[in-house]
């Protein structure tokens, strides 16, 4: 069986600003990993560094400017390794609807449930970062 995490939220901003916040490492580190590198080009690798134990890599599988950004995990823990996650953006001129998904989970285990909660908290951090410029210290993130 395959399990998927879904979240949807609205961010009062432009799609280009949200896209930058989810693809540019200098912005990603303000709401998700401690360190990050990568470029939003299909086939390119991203490094999501949370600690020496959680130094993960994913490959860009879709990057449509201001519309969508998808990653397939390549090197991570066993639960995340078969997964992909993505952000699909719809801009109505006032706000951007962000439809987030994280699919490919093999089990609805504790790690799946914790990750779902963490994504909800992190996506709220993304919203507050883009709308208000708020940065939560890494150690205080989900």
pLDDT tens for each residue of 65-123: 999 999 999 999 999 999 999 999 999 999 999 999 999 999 999 999 999 999 999 99
In the numeric block, the tokens 């909800």 are attached to 120
Residues shown for the chain: 142
Confidence check: pLDDT of 1 > 90: no
Total domain count, the chain: 1
| Residue span of the structural domain in which 31 resides | 3-140
Predicted confidence at residue 84, as pLDDT, reads 98
State which H helix or E strand residue 111 sits in. helix 110-132
Confidence check: pLDDT of 142 > 90: no
Predicted confidence at residue 121, as pLDDT, reads 97
CATH number at residue 135: 3.30.530.20
Buried b (16+ CB within 10 A) or exposed e, 16-43: eebbbbbbebebbbbbbbeebebebeee
From residue 138, alpha-carbon distances to 15, 22, 40, 120, 128 in Å are 25, 16, 23, 16, 15
Reported pTM: 0.96
Average pLDDT, the chain: 97
């Amino acid at each position: 069986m395959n399990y998927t995490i879904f979240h949807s939220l609205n961010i009062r901003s432009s799609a280009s600003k949200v896209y930058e916040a989810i693809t540019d490492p200098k912005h990603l580190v303000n709401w998700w990993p401690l360190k990050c590198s990568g470029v939003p080009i299909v086939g390119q690798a991203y490094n999501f560094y949370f600690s020496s134990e959680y130094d993960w890599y994913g490959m860009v599988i879709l990057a449509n400017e201001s519309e969508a950004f998808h990653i397939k995990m390549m090197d991570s823990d066993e639960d995340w390794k078969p997964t992909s996650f993505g952000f699909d953006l719809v801009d109505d001129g006032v706000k951007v609807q962000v439809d987030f998904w994280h699919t490919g989970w093999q089990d609805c285990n504790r790690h799946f449930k914790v990750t779902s909660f963490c994504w909800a908290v992190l996506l709220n951090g993304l919203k507050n970062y883009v709308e208000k410029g708020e940065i939560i210290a890494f150690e205080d993130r989900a």
